[in-house]
Structure 1
Amino acid sequence: MDAAPIRPPDLSARPFSLAVEHIMSASPDELYRMATRQLGLWFADPGSVRMRPAVNEPFFFTAGGGHPHYGRFLRLIPDRLVELTWVTGPGGTEGAETVLTLELSALGAGSALLLTHAGFPSAAARDRHEKSWPQVLDRWDQRTLAVS
């Protein structure tokens, strides 16, 4: 798979970003699979995921009872990196195309995960995501272990 980004969005007018480091019990390969092929098992509403994990491919799903999420894959490095655009509506990215990057590295039997999320249109949007991502990552880790 190509590791170079395909037309990433211009984030220069939206400088708000965040970074979250998280220790995960699951291995990098399990996390990569759950992020690219099994999103419906831990994050998306059941049956809503429309996604093919390939660079520049679009995706769609709903989460949290029907809130739409859109994007496309920018970079994929199996078991190491998932980078995608991420667009949600009010209460989320406020319609802005943000860039979400998941960097995975082995840590014992588990993983160290660095999540960066850039391009928020406001500090408030960034702050909402900064508060929610640790909870989302905990749920992801628990669900990954449950289906492994």
Structure 2
Amino acid sequence: MSNVEAICPPDLSANQFRFSVEHMMDAAPAVLYRLWTEQFDRWFATPGTLLMKPEINVPFFWEVQHEGNRYPHYGRFLKLQPDRLVEMTWLTGPTGTKGAETVVTVELEPVGTGTRLRLTHAGFIDQESRDGHELAWPAILAHLNEQLQPPF
């Protein structure tokens, strides 16, 4: 567990739109932790666009290319507890978080040979942004689970 404190954590009090989803994953927490902190381009980011270090307060960037459009994503890690918790800011453009610095919290709980992943996404400026992400995350987590093939 890191004892580094995040600088300038987002104040989400004015942006109270949030949701949580859970998904059973077919991998151990250690594998998922690595995918969320070092290997985003194995399952989410467009390969070759990931700039990320698993360190609190270090900015990161990646983009997603979809249907001919690019969707840049920016953020930084706020909390890291190996194999248990990843908390990061998540900032995208007009079709995503609309420039709001939202917070994604990923909790990893071992269950048998797999993991219960609970994702909470908070700090949306409006219901439209929240609803779009609430609809997308279950499909993204299902895609992540499909990608769980060695080597990691």
- Residue 128 of structure 2 corresponds to 124
C-alpha offsets along residues 44-101 of structure 1, whole Å, 9 cap, x if unaligned?
A: 0110000111011110000134210000000000000000000001111011000000
What amino acid maps onto 1:99 in structure 2? V
Residue ranges of structure 2 left out of the alignment (5+ in a row): none
- Residue 61 of structure 1 corresponds to 62
Which of 51, 54, 74 is 1:70 aligned to? 74
| TM superposition score normalised by structure 2 | 0.93
Identity of aligned residues (%): 51
- Residue 23 of structure 2 corresponds to 22
Alignment RMSD (CA, Å): 1.3
Alpha-carbon spacing, 1:3–1:135, altered in 2? closer, same or farther (3 Å): farther
CA-CA distance at 1:5 after TM superposition: 4.0
Q: Following the alignment from structure 2 to structure 1, what is the Cα–Cα distance between the partners of residues 93 and 51?
A: 18
Q: Following the alignment from structure 1 to structure 2, what is the Cα–Cα distance between the partners of residues 114 and 147?
A: 24
CA-CA distance at 1:30 after TM superposition: 0.4
Report matched runs for 1:1-148 at 5 Å: 1-2=2-3, 4-65=5-66, 66-145=70-149, 147-148=151-152
Contact in 2 for aligned 1:2/1:55 (Cα 8 Å): no
Residue ranges of structure 1 left out of the alignment (5+ in a row): none
CA-CA distance at 1:142 after TM superposition: 1.1
Provide the aligned length of Structure 1 versus Structure 2: 148
SS in 2 for 1:30: helix
SS in 1 for 2:132: helix
What amino acid maps onto 2:59 in structure 1? P
| TM superposition score normalised by structure 1 | 0.95
Q: Following the alignment from structure 2 to structure 1, what is the Cα–Cα distance between the partners of residues 50 and 28?
A: 23
